[in-house]
């Protein structure tokens, strides 16, 4: 019986292939995700292990609380004198000190050198201590004072050779430096995307504004001293603002920041793999159902010659098991290619990830196989059960149809209840009080899945009216083929509905994304319009990295500026949680127009050393009124108490301010290496060409600073999200492709089933072209059905979210929605190509005799 099942599968190769493809893509996404994230993780791990190779103990500064990367504040440095004390310990064989930071390289045209969003890393190097030095000099010499050595990767991409002069921007203005040499990050090569710049210690300290300070000391144990002894002996002499770890522990610690990111990326991508598989399950279930219906006589014959129901079910399940297995294996191979594609995709959107070769772990193979096979088998359960209901008498009856199942008549009500239950869970997740994030996500996730199930099964009720509506144009444009196509789409509502359902899921999610993005965009633009009364803004070239505060100097000196207001941002401990603290320069009342519920614009100008203002929500949550005291702890550990002098009501799209804002003066007193997130500028005469030119020239020494007007600022700030949006679309396109295969499959099976009918149509004078048109129209009607239900569902789901989430407003992405509908038509046309050709090429005589 197993052999029979396998042979049956083999005899329907094309159908099997098309069916299997639905699973292939989902499994490929899952495999690709694991391969990608494992590869990145491996690359990072090897980077950090390489850095601390030969280092037994590492001394670093210690923040008062965990400071995350890119938060705008840094872990405090420590005095350089500590190095001498460490070197003086008997347990220490050798020790070097180092500083590091963001070093932006600038090419001879004055343009910032950056590759995607990869970091621009600068660090000090001590070539006399090769044991602490992972980088390998490839040409030229090690950097002397005011010289820089850069990595070979950047050098070859930008045609830089030793002896040339390039610009380097650290914590201050650009400095011109001679390139002394080129190096590889390690003997294994470079870090993808990142630019590396090495300096001698004194130059690095000047560049990063850390003269007399160190970020790190690396030590090696003296002969006969263990790592543990070394670490504990160093710990004894450290001030409270520094800490010591073993080299391995420091590598793990440094990697932990990236781990969080990688885990997020993994979960994020797996979700899309899951969506593709979910859609794939619909496609498989539908294809198998049709196949089972078409094999009615075969199953009935098997029953007459003694096969039991259990054997019939087993044979269908074995087929799906093998199908799932083969499809999963194919998916794993494709997943490797997809991982490469994902690296490429992320690089395209400015997100270069380190890559030191693809890594296929055993776990990846096992998970992909188990998930792929499981989904296929689960999707085949219902078709398998249907197969067991084929009565033996169907072997002798012409055109026997399956008897409806026992529960068939409860189907509409059952699916409606499922859908409503889904909505209820969704609503509970969104609006229920006292739920944790995990609970919210669980409720919303299960709710959404139930909604999809409910709508998918209920939609067979909608097929007839929708076919009339959407098939109307087809019938008018297409004439007889159009009318036939519309009626064909209606004749098996369940089948059409299931086929459309796969596309429906993809389009619902795409619509949801478009609606939410539009909502964010609208509220953000609105917020900028409300708050901005300024002419220009300055940010980093990448729009989000903090920029040195010294950028403000030349701007203030520019003849026409009336106010230059930097907004500092960084993490701090406020009310026992780590939150964003912002600092604002005097002159803020000239660049921001806020709605004050207490205090007023003058509050921003008179914050002084102890003043702060907050927003209404935060004030409500923490019972703050004017005069309330707020304790703030900075990364250095220093604490300062501020009193609230004003409360403002931010627009729904947010403001540039964190929950607590203090004066930039107070901020700079407590935060080492303070940086601005934005600088806002007002000028005499507003935005004019002359003013723009003057400001541009003021920024000449800061190539990493980008001057922009209001509209540019809005677009730039939104561009990050727009790129994320593009990634989401690409990933969701996977599930749309899966559903496209579902339509192809259904049409191929329908053509096969209607062979005789198509032969008859041809015999009575239908042309090949008309047959093609008929199949294509049917495909388009099916796709549009999926699109109509999907877009409607997407709108409903997003409306729920928009209603719930404060910073979202309802705004229609009309253009996108039209594109989606057109895309659905395109999907329909593409899906019809193969089946339509098969139908058109049928031999009329053979088709008529087909039984």
Tokens of 494: 């369940």
826-829: long-range pairs with CB below 8 Å, 24+: 827/503, 827/736, 827/739, 827/740, 827/743, 827/783, 828/743, 828/776, 828/779, 828/780, 828/781, 828/782, 828/783, 828/784, 829/776, 829/779, 829/780
- Which of 319, 670 has the CB closer to another protein? 319
From candidates 131, 138, 178, 309, binder to another protein by CB under 8 A: 309
Other C-beta atoms within 10 Å of 285: how many? 24
Which residue blocks in 492-634 are alpha helix, DSSP H?
Answer: 493-531, 552-557, 588-591, 601-605, 616-621
11 is a site residue for another protein (CB under 8 A): yes
Distance between CA 509 and CA 597 in Å, rounded?
40
Tokens of 630: 């707020």
Binding mask 819-848 for another protein (x = CB under 8 A): ------------------------------
* Alpha carbon 100 to chain centroid, angstroms: 29
Does residue 311 touch another protein according to CB under 8 A? yes
Size of site (CB under 8 A) for another protein: 25
- SS3 percent helix, strand, coil of the chain, rounded to 5, is 60, 15, 25
Q: Is 271 in the site for another protein (CB under 8 A)?
A: no
Q: Is 391 in the site for another protein (CB under 8 A)?
A: yes
Of 128 and 308, nearer to another protein (C-beta) is 308
User: What's the chain's Rg over C-alpha atoms?
Assistant: 33
* Minimum gap (Å) between residue 306 Cβ and another protein: 4
Three-state SS string over 149-203 comes to EEEHHHHHHCCCCCCCEEEEECCCCEEEEEEEEEEECECCECCCCCEEEEECHHH
Helices assigned H by DSSP within 627-684 = 664-670
Instruction: Choose, by CB under 8 A, the member of 145, 228, 366, 396 that binds another protein.
Output: 396
Under the binding rule (CB under 8 A), the answer on residue 348 touching another protein is no
Interface with another protein, residue 462, by CB under 8 A: no
Sign of the dihedral through C-alpha 644, 646, 650, 654? negative
Segment contacting another protein by CB under 8 A, of 20-28, 128-136, 183-191, 305-313: 305-313
- Report, in Å, the least distance between residue 845 CB and another protein: 17
Which one of the spans 2-10, 232-240, 522-530, 629-637 is the region binding another protein (CB under 8 A)? Answer: 2-10
Q: Does 387 bind another protein (CB under 8 A)?
A: no
For residue 501, the tally of other CB atoms under 10 A from its CB is: 28
**CB 32, min distance to another protein, A:** 35
Selected binder of another protein within 105, 395, 484, 588 (CB under 8 A) = 395
Task: Determine, following the binding rule CB under 8 A, whether residue 441 of this chain makes contact with another protein.
Answer: no
Nearer to another protein, 391 or 473 (CB): 391
If the CB atoms of residues 305 and 764 are measured against another protein, the closer one turns out to be 305
Does the protein bind another protein through residue 393 (CB under 8 A)? yes
| Rounded least distance, CB 302 to another protein, Å | 7
Does 308 participate in binding another protein (rule CB under 8 A)?
yes
Least separation in angstroms between residue 841's CB and another protein is 19
Query: Which listed residue (38, 298, 585, 672) binds another protein by CB under 8 A?
Result: 298
Nearer to another protein (CB atom), residue 5 or residue 502: 5
What would the two tokens of residue 279 be?
């859609």
For 807, the token pair is 């910073």
Contact between 422 and 456 (Cβ < 8 Å): no
User: What CA–CA distance (Å, rounded) separates 201 from 97?
Assistant: 8
503, 783 in Cβ contact below 8 A? yes
Q: Helices 814-840 and 710-753 meet at what angle, rounded to 10?
A: 20
Instruction: Write b or e for each residue in 203-233: b if 16 or more Cβ atoms lie within 10 A of its Cβ, otherwise e.
Output: bbbbbbbbeebbbbbbbbbbeebebeebbeb
399 binds another protein (CB under 8 A): no
Which of 6/694 has CB closer to another protein? Answer: 6
- Region binding another protein by CB under 8 A among candidate stretches 195-203, 391-399, 702-710, 712-720: 391-399
236 binds another protein (CB under 8 A): no
Check residue 392 for interaction with another protein (CB under 8 A): yes
302 binds another protein (CB under 8 A): yes
CB of 851 vs another protein, minimal distance in Å: 7
- Compute the least distance from the CB of residue 741 to another protein, in Å: 24
Cβ-based neighbours of 281, under 8 Å, separated by 6 or more: 22, 375, 376, 378, 379
Q: How far apart are CA 53 and CA 200, in angstroms?
A: 20
Q: Closest Cα to residue 263, out of 33, 578, 29?
A: 33
Q: Near another protein by CB under 8 A, which window of 113-121, 385-393, 500-508, 581-589?
A: 385-393
Quick one: which of 138, 178, 297, 340 contacts another protein (CB under 8 A)?
Answer: 297
Q: Of residues 10, 431, 769, 812, which one binds another protein by CB under 8 A?
A: 10
**CB 95 within 8 Å of CB 219:** yes
Window of 4-12, 191-199, 338-346, 566-574 that interacts with another protein by CB under 8 A: 4-12
C-beta of 308 vs 726, nearer to another protein:
308
Q: Does 304 bind another protein (CB under 8 A)?
A: yes
Smaller CB separation from another protein, 226 or 308: 308
Question: What burial class does residue 54 get, using C-beta atoms within 10 Å of its C-beta: 0-12 exposed, 13-18 middle, 19+ buried?
Answer: middle
Under the binding rule (CB under 8 A), the answer on residue 851 touching another protein is yes
Residues binding another protein (CB under 8 A): 1, 3-4, 7-8, 10-11, 297-298, 301-309, 311, 391-393, 395-396, 851
């Amino acid at each position: 019986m197993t052999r029979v099942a396998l042979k049956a599968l083999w005899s329907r190769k094309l159908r099997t292939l098309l069916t299997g493809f639905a699973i292939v893509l989902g499994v490929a996404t899952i495999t690709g995700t694991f391969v990608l994230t494992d590869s990145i993780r491996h690359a990072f791990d090897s980077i950090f292990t390489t850095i601390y190779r030969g280092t037994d103990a590492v001394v670093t500064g210690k923040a008062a609380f965990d400071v995350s990367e890119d938060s705008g504040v840094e872990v405090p440095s420590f005095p350089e004198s500590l190095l001498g004390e460490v070197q003086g310990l008997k347990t220490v064989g050798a020790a070097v000190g180092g500083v590091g930071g963001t070093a932006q390289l600038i090419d001879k045209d004055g343009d910032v050198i950056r590759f995607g969003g990869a970091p621009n890393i600068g660090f000090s190097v001590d070539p006399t201590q090769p044991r602490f030095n992972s980088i390998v000099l490839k040409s030229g010499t090690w950097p002397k004072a005011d010289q820089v050595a850069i990595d070979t990767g950047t050098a070859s991409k930008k045609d830089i050779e030793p002896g040339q002069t390039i610009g380097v921007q650290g914590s201050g203005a650009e400095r011109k430096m001679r390139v002394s040499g080129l190096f590889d990050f390690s003997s294994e090569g470079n870090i993808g995307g990142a630019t590396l710049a090495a300096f001698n210690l004194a130059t690095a300290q000047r560049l990063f504004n850390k003269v007399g300070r160190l970020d790190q000391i690396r030590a090696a144990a003296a002969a006969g001293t263990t790592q543990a002894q070394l670490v504990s002996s160093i710990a004894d002499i450290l001030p409270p603002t520094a800490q010591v770890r073993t080299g391995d522990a420091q590598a793990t610690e440094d990697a932990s920041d990236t781990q969080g990111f990688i885990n997020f990326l993994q979960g994020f991508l797996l979700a899309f793999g899951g969506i593709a598989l979910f859609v794939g399950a619909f496609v498989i279930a539908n294809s198998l159902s049709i196949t089972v219906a078409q094999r009615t006589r075969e199953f009935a014959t098997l029953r007459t010659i003694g096969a039991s129901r259990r054997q019939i079910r087993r044979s269908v399940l074995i087929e799906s098991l093998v199908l799932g297995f083969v499809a999963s294996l194919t998916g794993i191979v494709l997943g490797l290619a997809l991982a490469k594609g994902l690296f490429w995709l992320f690089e395209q959107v400015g997100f270069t990830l380190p890559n030191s070769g693809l890594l296929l772990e055993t776990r990846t193979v096992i998970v992909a196989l188990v998930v792929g096979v499981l989904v296929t088998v689960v999707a085949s359960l219902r078709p398998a059960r249907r197969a067991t209901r084929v009565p033996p008498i169907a072997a002798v009856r012409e055109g026997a149809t399956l008897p409806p199942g026992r529960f068939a008549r409860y189907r509409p009500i059952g699916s409606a209840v499922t859908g409503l239950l889904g909505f209820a869970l969704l609503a509970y997740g969104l609006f229920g009080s006292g739920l944790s994030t995990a609970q919210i996500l669980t409720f919303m996730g299960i709710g959404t899945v139930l909604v999809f199930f409910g709508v998918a099964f209920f939609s067979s009720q909608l097929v007839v009216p929708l076919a009339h509506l959407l098939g109307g144009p087809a019938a008018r444009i297409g004439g007889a083929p159009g009318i036939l196509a519309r009626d064909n789409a209606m004749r098996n509502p369940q089948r059409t509905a299931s086929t459309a359902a796969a596309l429906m899921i993809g389009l619902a999610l795409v619509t949801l994304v478009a609606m939410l993005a539009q909502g964010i965009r609208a509220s953000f633009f609105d917020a900028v319009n409300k708050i901005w009364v300024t002419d220009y803004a300055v940010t980093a070239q990448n729009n989000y990295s903090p920029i040195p505060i010294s950028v403000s100097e030349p701007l203030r000196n520019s003849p026409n500026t009336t106010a230059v207001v930097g907004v500092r941002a960084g993490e701090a401990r406020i009310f026992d949680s780590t939150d964003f603290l912002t600092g604002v320069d005097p002159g803020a009342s000239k660049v921001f127009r806020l709605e004050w519920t207490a205090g007023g614009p003058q509050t921003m100008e008179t914050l002084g050393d102890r003043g702060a203002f907050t927003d209404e929500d935060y004030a409500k949550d923490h019972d703050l009124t004017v005069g309330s005291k707020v304790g703030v702890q900075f990364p250095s550990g220093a604490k300062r108490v501020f009193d609230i002098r004003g409360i403002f009501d931010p627009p729904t799209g947010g403001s540039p301010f964190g929950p607590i804002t203090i004066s930039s003066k107070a901020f700079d007193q407590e935060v080492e290496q303070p940086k601005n997130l934005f600088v806002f500028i007002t000028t005499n005469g507003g935005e004019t060409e002359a003013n723009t030119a003057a400001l541009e020239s003021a920024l000449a020494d800061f190539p990493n600073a980008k001057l922009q007007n209001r509209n540019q600022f809005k677009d730039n700030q939104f561009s990050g999200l727009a790129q994320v949006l593009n990634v989401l679309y690409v990933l969701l396109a996977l599930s749309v492709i899966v559903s496209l295969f579902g339509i192809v499959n259904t049409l191929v099976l329908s053509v096969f089933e209607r062979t005789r009918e198509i032969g008859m149509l041809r015999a009575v004078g239908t042309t090949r072209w008309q047959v093609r048109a008929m199949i294509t129209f049917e495909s388009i009607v099916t796709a549009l059905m999926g699109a109509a239900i999907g877009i409607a569902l997407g709108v409903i789901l997003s409306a729920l979210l928009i209603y719930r989430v404060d910073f979202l407003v309802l705004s229609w992405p009309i253009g996108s929605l039209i594109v989606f509908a057109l895309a659905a038509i395109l999907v329909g046309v593409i899906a019809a190509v193969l089946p339509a050709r098969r139908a058109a090429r049928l031999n009329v005589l053979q088709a008529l005799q087909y039984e």
